[in-house]
Amino acid sequence: MLVYFTNIMDSNSNNSRDNEYNLAIKNLFHGKVMERASAARQIGHFKDGRATNMLVRALNSEEDPVVINRIVEAMGEVNDAKATIVIVELLKRELEKQESEQDKSLLFLIVESLMKIGDKRALKHLGLLSRSCESDLKKFTEEAIECIDPHWKENLTENSKI
């Protein structure tokens, strides 16, 4: 009897989680600004890889900076390497702007998300950001590079010998 009750509770818990997830996805695309931002954050907390494609679609269509920040943050929380290239593309677009026009909070979130994902494909692009004049951003980027590849200096030296 206890096993049956436990299975029912697990089933209800899964249904509830799926319902929350589906509602968050709906709000991510159809909600007002703060609903979209909240939905992105909630999706990140699920840490479910199936969310990556939805977050990418939302990022590609989103214009509000607050929501964009939350989507980037969620991608880091989901921790799926499929998001790396999309985040790197966002980084490139931000770096094309004059430094005074760059969104520093977005840059910090990009670095943090790439660090959480840990995909070495991001290293080259983070290297560009490590030349920033902004000392806090430069330091944080260097920490991210070190976190993604603790042996990056040796790897750089080996590659330059080739």
Model confidence at 9: pLDDT above 80: no
For residue 2, the model assigns a pLDDT of: 45
Q: What is the mean pLDDT of residues 116-127?
A: 94
Q: What is the mean pLDDT of residues 117-142?
A: 88
Domain boundaries, the chain: 1-79, 84-162
* Residue given tokens 């206890």 in the structure block: 2
For residue 153, the model assigns a pLDDT of: 66
**Strand (E) or helix (H) holding 111:** helix 104-117
Packed helices 65-78 and 104-117: angle between N→C axes, nearest 10 degrees: 10
Distance CA 103, CA 65 (A): 9
Task: Mention every residue, 6+ apart, whose C-beta is less than 8 A from residue 71.
Answer: 40, 55, 58, 59, 62
151 phi, psi to nearest 5 deg: -105, 25
The CATH code belonging to domain 1-79 is 1.25.10.10
For residue 103, the model assigns a pLDDT of: 94
For residue 62, the model assigns a pLDDT of: 97
Task: Give pLDDT tens digits for 17-62.
Answer: 889 999 999 999 999 999 999 999 999 999 998 899 999 999 999 9
Please tell us whether the domain made up of 84-162 is placed in CATH 1.25.10. Answer: yes
pTM: 0.84
When pLDDT is cut at 50, 70 and 90, the band that residue 108 belongs to is very high
User: What is the average pLDDT value for the chain, to the nearest integer?
Assistant: 87
Task: Give pLDDT tens digits for 66-98.
Answer: 999 999 999 999 999 999 999 999 999 999 999
Q: What is the mean pLDDT of residues 103-130?
A: 93
Which of the 8 DSSP states describes residue 144? Answer: H
